[in-house]
Amino acid sequence: MLVASSGRRSALAVGWIFGFTQFVVGLSWITESFQFAGDGLSALAWPAIAGLSAFLAIFPAIAAFFARCFGPDRRAVILAFPVCWTALEVARGTLFTGFPWNLTAYVWGVSDETMQAASVFGSYGLGLATITLFTAPLLLSLRYPNWKCRAATIGTIIAGTILLWGFGAIRLSQAVETDVPDVRLRLVQGNIPQYQKWNPVAARGILDRYVNLSRQPGSVQPTHVIWPETALPVQFGGEPALVKRLLDAVPSGALLFGAVRQAVDQGAGETALVNSLLALGPDGKVIAGYDKRRLVPFGEYMPFKDVLPLKKMTDGMIDFTPGSGAATLDVPGLPRFRPLICYEAIFPHRASDPGERWILNITNDAWFGTSSGPYQHFLAARFRAVERGLPLVRAANSGISAVVDPYGRVLMSLDLGMTGIIDTGLPAPLPNGSVYGRWRDLWSAIAATITIGLALRSARHTGRN
């Protein structure tokens, strides 16, 4: 449809219609969260999804528009389209705080083998390769007519898929599984319904559930216990009685838990909240902490709140403020790790600390019930492990809690709606990391530059004719 469009405006319209449909379907799970919003906001669920999808559809629309700018030559448009699409996918993940949900690369999450190409190209680069693979048959159709075109189309897609799967199969066949010595983790999945999480009457019971699960007997005493995002049902301020109760969860070692704390919004100078991951040592002191940096618009803060007469969807009237400081944490007894709180796991790694050895993702997906949302979120987090060659440990309130090796393979997990624990070692990272971890998007940038050069050459050739 893009190639056959009559001009730039029609290409823009085609791209927008495609994007709107894609996002309405892919983001339909967000409607689940409106049942907890209160104040009659549940009626706004589908209008909100439609509005968000209409905005996000601008990105594929612009991609189609720019591809069509390469002129009437179909070959030039087809060559340029994958690069334009990927560039606008990067823009979607960066501009206006970014929303890189359901990236093109995630279609390869159907198997462990096909995910492995992200270790070379990253998620954006794998998306570029994917769009190139599925538009290549259009180039062939310009040369081969009728049945030859159909055969070439099917053959190209099958060959490309086999190539990706084969690379992954070979990579996984050479995998060596080892654990970090002297580290035993216990992940706690409390499975607290969202409507109970901030109910003061339920707070005591919620805390008791987490402590009791943390103290369950196991074959090996855990060195570190990990609770999910905002597991603590009250704001944390270091109160002695609360700290004493938290210490009951870890007879030895440290407790890593998600909590909400009060802070000062440095920009406005007003009281704000921070969404934190804290590590509590055996002496009751906070020995490490990280405050979430990427906040969810409309969920944790209200953009344009001077104009929009609405409150954020999370409880309370006070907005969250983004954290600052180090992006990695050092906790005694653990290798250095990168904390990712909820939404942060959907962002492909663009920078890293060479000392980080694993990824810890804590989240609360109870907002989205048993919809597709938590599964999409977990898949994105697994791609972070593949990109960097780092293991991923994930503690989720209502699921999916899991241990993922540096190849993105799920070693242990607790599914949605389950209450329980995972006792596990900490998988070791790949000794040499990943190609993408060393070179980032260099190879994708080279491929994109060559492709755009070919498209410009084709367009100029057509113009001379």
pLDDT in tens, 341-374: 998 999 997 666 778 999 999 999 988 888 999 9
d(CA 358, CA 360): 7
The predicted structure's pLDDT at residue 67: 92
Per the residue annotation, which of 113, 197, 342, 356 is the catalytic one? 342
Q: Compute how many other C-beta atoms are within 10 angstroms of the C-beta atom of residue 33.
A: 24
- Mean of pLDDT values over 258-281: 83
To the query of whether residue 342 is one of the catalytic residues in this protein, the response is yes
Is residue 381 within 8 Å of residue 340, measured between CB atoms?
Answer: yes
Burial of 126 (0-12, 13-18, 19+ CB in 10 A): buried
User: Which architecture, in CATH terms, is 180-427?
Assistant: 4-Layer Sandwich (3.60)
pLDDT at 381 over 80: yes
- Mean of pLDDT values over 8-20: 92
pLDDT in tens, 390-435: 999 999 999 899 999 999 999 999 999 999 999 999 999 999 999 9
pLDDT at 303 over 80: no
Burial of 270 (0-12, 13-18, 19+ CB in 10 A): exposed
Per the residue annotation, which of 89, 229, 356, 387 is the catalytic one? 229
The predicted structure's pLDDT at residue 393: 98
Return the half-sphere exposure (C-beta side, CA atoms, 13 A cut-off) of residue 77.
19
To the query of whether residue 148 is one of the catalytic residues in this protein, the response is no
d(CA 155, CA 167): 18
Is residue 281 within 8 Å of residue 332, measured between CB atoms?
Answer: yes
pLDDT at 454 over 90: no
Residue 202 identity (one-letter amino acid) = A
Per the residue annotation, which of 89, 197, 292, 344 is the catalytic one? 292
pLDDT at 1 over 70: no
Task: Give residue limits of the domains in the chain.
Answer: 8-174+440-464, 180-427
DSSP character at residue 348: P
Is residue 138 within 8 Å of residue 78, measured between CB atoms?
Answer: yes
- Mean of pLDDT values over 201-210: 95
- Mean of pLDDT values over 149-156: 71
To the query of whether residue 177 is one of the catalytic residues in this protein, the response is no
The predicted structure's pLDDT at residue 325: 79
- Mean of pLDDT values over 298-305: 63
Mean residue pLDDT of the chain comes to: 88
pLDDT at 4 over 60: no
DSSP string of 86-137, one letter each residue: HHHHHHHTTGGG----S-GGGGGGGSHHHHTTHHHHHHHHHHHHHHHHHHHH
The predicted structure's pLDDT at residue 54: 96
Residue 219 identity (one-letter amino acid) = S
SS3 217: coil
The predicted structure's pLDDT at residue 407: 98
Is residue 83 within 8 Å of residue 129, measured between CB atoms?
Answer: no
- Mean of pLDDT values over 100-127: 96
Report the Cα 258 to chain-centroid distance in Å: 18
Helices (H) and strands (E) in the chain, counts: 12, 11
Q: Which residue has the higher pLDDT, 323 or 52?
A: 52
Find the range with the poorest average confidence among 137-146, 155-164, 282-291: 137-146
